[in-house]
Amino acid sequence: MAWIILILAGLLETGWAIGLKYTDGFRKPVPSVLTILAIAASMYLLAWSAKTLPIGTAYAVWTGIGAFGAAVLGIWLLKEPASPARIFFLVLLLVAIVGLRFTAIEVPLAPR
């Protein structure tokens, strides 16, 4: 369950990263509120998943999903360049995210 929550947190990070582009420096109210809500929800879900996942792995996967998603949506929505080198490194990032998923061990915190 922690992995599903972490993936959702990463997708929300992608959303708020792209949302920043639409806030116009937080001068547009609707995109600003949606971006702030996505930031809060993303961090809450990251914290929740980090209860059982190693924080280094959880944080790396969270930021990796956010970076990958923001770059892909930047190419698709914002018409940013999609050079072969950029695509290659995005694929490497995706491989790293998947690799972390399959090499991580869930370790619940000891009760206090």
Span 12-51, pLDDT tens digits: 999 999 999 999 999 999 999 999 999 999 999 999 999 9
CA distance 108 to 78: 40
Cβ within 8 Å of residue 6, ≥6 positions away: 45, 46, 49, 53, 58, 61, 62
Which is higher by pLDDT, 104 or 74? 74
Q: How much is the pLDDT for 103?
A: 86
Identify which of 43, 19, 15, 41 has the alpha carbon closest to the alpha carbon of residue 30. Answer: 19
Span 102-112, pLDDT tens digits: 887 766 665 55
CB of 58 within 8 A of CB of 46? yes
pLDDT at 97 over 60: yes
Question: Which pTM value belongs to this model?
Answer: 0.86
